[in-house]
Amino acid sequence: MSEQELAGKAAIVTGAGRNIGRAIALKLARSGAAVVINARSNAKESDEVVRSIEALGGRAASVLGDVADPKVAEALAATALERFGRIDILVNNAALRREKSIIDMTYAEWREVMDVTLDSAFHCVKASLPALRKDGGAIVNVGGMSAHIGSAHRAHVMTAKVGLVGFTRGLAHDLAADGIWVNCVVPGAIDTPRPQSSPKPAHHLTHGTITGERGTPDDVAALVYFLCTPAAHFVTGQAVHANGGAYLGS
């Protein structure tokens, strides 16, 4: 594929201040797309991603805020249209990966994960859809391996991520006639920095890769990039895994 496969396109990436979201934003930018990035609250991280994209010769803008709020999703779409005139790609990566036993979990804690991980994808799709429907394009939702294999203390996270798979399939049906292809990328066994207070997820301890190594955010970004290119237009409604063989199901 050409390094400028996405030249002239514009993308929105949520949860793009670090780790997988940051890698996705940079990969799309290297491929020629202008990118609107979103971070929940860390302006320093989001500004650094914008500067990195501009250093590559690309175009970028950032919108700070929680995409669980539909007004933030609307601001993302408005920024893309004001700065770049279009929206061709939407990557719903924002998520909370809390760990807590259902025994101790409050409804507020359950609801927060649903709002940020699942409802935010709905808000961003609704805000971006009028522009996406003009010329067609791609939506990629970022799931999680624990939703497919199970994990302790993650009932809220797994429920939200399974919901993203269902959302992906529904969107694929609803939007096919508009030339929009929709997929869910499912990372697993990916090494990303975690706060010291956040233990490694249980499934990382019990599911090894068959490649003998953990993946990187760039490995996930490469798959997301492919699914955003016209070459992937016949791939839609799928949950596509990037996990080094740690899970071999569908």
Position 154 in a domain:
yes
DSSP-assigned letter for residue 232: G
The stretch 132-157 carries a mean pLDDT of 94
Is residue 248 domain-resident? Answer: no
Residue 1 has pLDDT above 80, yes or no: no
Per-residue pLDDT band for 205 (boundaries 50, 70, 90) equals: low
Output the domain CATH number for residue 64: 3.40.50.720
Are 141 and 167 in contact by the 8 Å Cβ rule? The answer is yes
Q: Is there a domain that residue 165 lies in? A: yes
Q: How far apart are CA 117 and CA 113, in angstroms?
A: 6
The answer as to whether 55 is a domain residue is: yes
133 CB neighbour count, 10 Å cutoff: 15
Give the H/E segment covering residue 203. Answer: helix 202-206
101 pLDDT exceeds 50? yes
Tens digits of residue pLDDT in 103-134 = 999 999 999 999 999 999 999 999 999 999 99
Work out whether the CA dihedral 18, 171, 85, 32 comes out positive or negative. Answer: positive
Lowest mean pLDDT among 56-70, 81-95, 155-169, 184-198: 184-198
Residue 4 lies in a domain: no
User: Containing domain of residue 221, as a range?
Assistant: 10-242
The tens digit of pLDDT for each residue in 4-55 reads 899 999 999 999 999 999 999 999 999 999 999 999 999 999 999 999 999 9
CB 140 within 8 A of CB 186: no
Does residue 12 sit in helix, strand or coil?
A: strand
Instruction: Say how many domains are in the chain.
Output: 1
